Amino acid sequence: MGDTCCNPISMGSIKTMLEKEIKGVYVNSLQIGNNFAEDTYNSFFMNVNSQVDMACKTLKNDPKLASGYNAIGFSQGGQFLRAVAQRCPDPPMLNLISIGGQHQGVYGFPKCPFGGSVCEIIRHLLDHAVFSYVQHTLVQAQYWHDPLNETIYTERSIFLADINNAKWFGFYKPGQDKVIQTLNETMLYQEDVLGLKEMYDQSKLVFLEVQGDHLQFSEQWFAAEIIKPYLS
């Protein structure tokens, strides 16, 4: 969000790190748009389903990926690439590494700097607008998940509810916005609507934690915990 595929101090540095750590690796850092400015703009103001379609076409038209590829998604890119895996099996995605992805969506105003009541007012204002006309244009609205009204979320979410088969990973328990339930407590997991329980039982679903804020990790951690075990 607010970034571009090849910024040398963000995504570009990840590409450089992968090329340094894995000899001869080919890295395609997806650009959504015709240039860096469009790529950045589209991270806020483009229908996510159209972004997924664009990514699918780019991957399919890349002959170097014909036999399959490993995908890494950061923040909202994690759930967008999961949609690619679900909707576009050709070429096959061999592994998906999601770092800081919001696979059950977002709700509220993260790290709201104001008092509790003020934050609740802001949250309800956002909640009122998010399923209106902005649902089709504002990217972050398309993975908004309202635990206080699952019915509206299910009916009006044009992206997240679809890829989560929700039209129902850890998120708020339904009906309130205080208590968080773990992934294995959700219906998404228990009813195995995406195959996550089966993957977990087969040791194909791996969870990693790192101290820090959203997307804060060291190059050493990324190399040791992500590149060497899953990409080398």
Higher pLDDT: 102 or 167? It is: 102
Please, is 143 exposed, middle or buried when counting C-beta atoms within 10 Å of its C-beta (0-12, 13-18, 19+)? buried
By percentage, how much of the chain surpasses pLDDT 70?
92
Q: What is the mean pLDDT of residues 64-70?
A: 97
Q: Which two tokens stand for residue 221?
A: 């951690």
> Which H or E run includes 156?
helix 150-156
Question: What's the CA gap between 52 and 56, in Å, rounded?
Answer: 6
pLDDT for 115 equals 65
Please give the mean pLDDT across all residues of the chain.
87
d(CA 223, CA 232): 10
More confident residue, 32 or 115: 32
Res. 114 pLDDT band, cuts 50 70 90: low
pLDDT at 178: 73
More confident residue, 225 or 187: 225
One-character DSSP codes across 186-210: SHHHHTTSSSHHHHHHTT-------
Longest dimension (CA), the chain: 54
Q: Which residues contact 196 (CB under 8 A, 6 or more apart)?
A: 169, 183, 188, 189, 205
- The pLDDT of 64-88, averaged and rounded, is 96
Scan for tokens 């060497």, then name that residue.
228
137-193: per-residue pLDDT in tens? Answer: 889 889 998 888 888 888 889 999 899 876 545 566 777 777 777 878 888 788 887
Residue pair 5/30 in contact (Cβ under 8 Å)? The answer is yes
pTM over 0.85: no
Q: When comparing pLDDT for 133 and 32, which is higher?
A: 32
pLDDT of residue 46 exceeding 60, the answer is yes
Structure tokens at 203: 């040791």
Residue 172 has a pLDDT of: 67
